[in-house]
A and B are shown apart, each in its own frame.
Chain A
């Protein structure tokens, strides 16, 4: 089964995934119309800033067992085994925030959602784009990531690829560096700037 795999070293912090996520969870499914909907759709993936202001796409890990599911007394959170996805039933959610307290990654938000009950805030989080996947599409965040920080692939394949990259980095320097020179240059300058701007 394919899953969304995060490669943090490749995140350039552009936040395209956030826009695409919000659009994919809107009623209109287009960016221009989505921003004018009431309630406004909101992203379920959140790009945070690391120690050196580098981007990090933070999304639900769909844990198993899922602490949020165990904390949900209303029984709104359940596991869809066919997609290996932790889901929230908007009609059963009582907006108690127990799930957010239990979540180690801070990826659950509370707001009125275009796909939830009217006039009522509920818990909202990544659903692995189940609606898109059912139509044969890849998750929206993966589709728009032009830096390869988010991929949609079989976990086995991803692990094999990672193993190969690590293995190759151990050999004598026949390969180009894992991070291109321009990216490495920008990262080192940003680290230097940050050290100077703080203490």
Chain B
């Protein structure tokens, strides 16, 4: 049971700031989670349905009460519909984020997105060619215009498949064709998912789940992939850069501005404004040494990947960071921003600024950023942050920052290997690296903060498994010290040798949560290079502390792409053992990969190691027995 004296985080800054927040009378996510106990069992099992108002309905898991909703849907249908709607919401979130970037790209082309520009022309051309845009001797702006139009078509209904599906290995594309999983249009699949789950449409739980997979693939190989690729064009392809992580990145003697959310469209402009000499002078006038921009959550990851900007924390740290009293302004865009933040900030001098027309929050000032005014708006809000510095009260910065290296895009990884994935494949074939696991996803108060991420990562690298991570995981492992080249000493002998030879850490930061698609691109490249399907590779995915609908979409596109994926917390599906069995074993016969649920990261590590050794064996490589 919840005991407020118990440690809720494995991180020192987390624990110290939880104590500070309590002392300041701040209610955090852990208290609210406790207040929700016991959580509704019908909902936890996926057995409650609020889709229509003949209901709401619930099915008695003990078999004596109602076994169907008013419409007649049984447990299998209700559980499948609920899960599919989670996928649709997750895919919608990522894809709408991608849409905002396509709009900026179009704005750059027609000159309306002031302050944004094409940073990587080579990538723009590569993408344009993939989309069938004739580049010839057209100017970059003309290409950008045509590419943005072509990407908008990906969102619609005029084509047979979203374009970047072609990046997947041929064998994988054939699997998708065979089971009608090829995503046709990004918005189309989400829209169809919502249609099918309306009362009286698709009432076959298997075909619902197939559409769920197609919807997730429209995110993974569509909306999210567009978000990442267009971000690279507009803001640069990430390259490895040193950075600092944890709450110690806040500076006592500087104006601290924290960006929180997901979309680099806002944070990149804020970053630019923070470097403006006029505003730095103003900060000095106010008695500060300068302006210190740091991130939390994925918009922080976007800046870290491309600019080496420091990272203050992940999802469960977002309230705690404010309790330092050192944050002069927090600027948010969208996704994973707890609506409690405005209230928390109210206990300090911190000014809270919301920026998206799609995302407003209680107790925040709203300054709406659009591509045509973002540059100007960013200067305005940074100026008010600087002016707020003089209002600071007592500051508590709990720890010294930890060094880390981020910025491992696929381009960088392949570059570090000498231009082809061959050296990595050779290391895997030789057994020095057993395989790779992408650890992704969120924090969840149901799991001790960062315990799942850090424990699993440690166990995998110890056993010569390369870890790539994104999102909240990447912050947890960076804080734990896994993201410096010297961390190779924590790896098994084979992985250590490779890391030392390349000068890389054993855990590679691949970006934000939309950047999970970088992992798809990497596994596709490995599979293509070996002439096999993704599902044949000694790789796996894991989300040890996931909480969000976006994570459901990500997990599903991983599995549908052939990557077996472990989940820490249980999704709301136990109301239907048919759905549980399909997702945890039946899918093997469909897409060659499954889900596995295990809250304990020690046990999950054993499962993932076994999975990797099994895949090695099937490829004819040496395989170890995992005890």
A-to-B contact residues, CB < 8 Å: 10-15, 47-51, 53-56, 146-148, 179-183, 185-186, 189-190, 192-194, 196-199
Chain A residue nearest in CB terms to B601? A196
Q: State the CA gap A51–B37 with chains docked (Å).
A: 11
B285 at the interface (CB under 8 A from A): no
**B38 cross-chain contacts in A, Cβ below 8 A:** 11, 13, 15, 47-50, 53-56
Q: A55-B41, A146-B58, A183-B45 are in contact. Are A196 and B63 (CB under 8 A)?
A: no
Would you give the 0/1 interface string for B444-467, flagging 1 where the beta carbon is closer than 8 Å to chain A? 011110011000000000000000
Residue among B7, B37, B451, B600 making CB contact with A192, cutoff 8 Å: B600
A194 to chain B, nearest CB (A): 8
Chain B residue nearest in CB terms to A181? B577
B contact patch SS: loop
CB atoms of A13 and B61 under 8 A apart: no
**A15 cross-chain contacts in B, Cβ below 8 A:** 38, 40
Would you give the 0/1 interface string for B396-410, flagging 1 where the beta carbon is closer than 8 Å to chain A? 000000000000000
Q: State the CA gap A120–B601 with chains docked (Å).
A: 54
Residue among A146, A181, A192 making CB contact with B599, cutoff 8 Å: A192
B391 at the interface (CB under 8 A from A): no
B-to-A contact residues, CB < 8 Å: 1-3, 6-8, 37-45, 48, 58, 60-66, 445-448, 451-452, 568-570, 574-577, 580, 597-601
CB atoms of A182 and B576 under 8 A apart: yes
**A50 cross-chain contacts in B, Cβ below 8 A:** 1, 38
CB atoms of B580 and A193 under 8 A apart: no
Q: State the CA gap A49–B39 with chains docked (Å).
A: 9
Q: State the CA gap A194–B30 with chains docked (Å).
A: 13
**A197 cross-chain contacts in B, Cβ below 8 A:** 8, 445-448
Q: State the CA gap A12–B3 with chains docked (Å).
A: 22
CB atoms of A198 and B37 under 8 A apart: no
**A13 cross-chain contacts in B, Cβ below 8 A:** 37-41
**B66 cross-chain contacts in A, Cβ below 8 A:** 146
A45 to chain B, nearest CB (A): 14
Chain A residue nearest in CB terms to B30? A197
CB atoms of B62 and A196 under 8 A apart: no
**B48 cross-chain contacts in A, Cβ below 8 A:** 14
A151 to chain B, nearest CB (A): 10
CB atoms of B65 and A148 under 8 A apart: yes
Chain A residue nearest in CB terms to B66? A146
**A199 cross-chain contacts in B, Cβ below 8 A:** 6-7
Q: A197-B8, A197-B446, A197-B448 are in contact. Are A14 and B60 (CB under 8 A)?
A: no
CB atoms of B599 and A182 under 8 A apart: no
Chain B residue nearest in CB terms to A198? B6
Q: State the CA gap A177–B568 with chains docked (Å).
A: 26
CB atoms of A196 and B600 under 8 A apart: yes
Q: State the CA gap A80–B236 with chains docked (Å).
A: 79
**A11 cross-chain contacts in B, Cβ below 8 A:** 38, 41
CB atoms of A14 and B43 under 8 A apart: yes
**A146 cross-chain contacts in B, Cβ below 8 A:** 42, 58, 60, 65-66
Q: State the CA gap A54–B3 with chains docked (Å).
A: 16
CB atoms of B575 and A182 under 8 A apart: yes
Chain A residue nearest in CB terms to B578? A182
CB atoms of B580 and A182 under 8 A apart: yes
Q: State the CA gap A197–B66 with chains docked (Å).
A: 34
**A181 cross-chain contacts in B, Cβ below 8 A:** 577
**A182 cross-chain contacts in B, Cβ below 8 A:** 45, 61, 574-577, 580
Which 4 residue pairs across A and B have the least CB separation, nearest first? A12-B41, A13-B38, A49-B37, A55-B38
**A190 cross-chain contacts in B, Cβ below 8 A:** 570
CB atoms of B41 and A196 under 8 A apart: no
**B452 cross-chain contacts in A, Cβ below 8 A:** 196
B78 to chain A, nearest CB (A): 12
Chain B residue nearest in CB terms to A185? B574
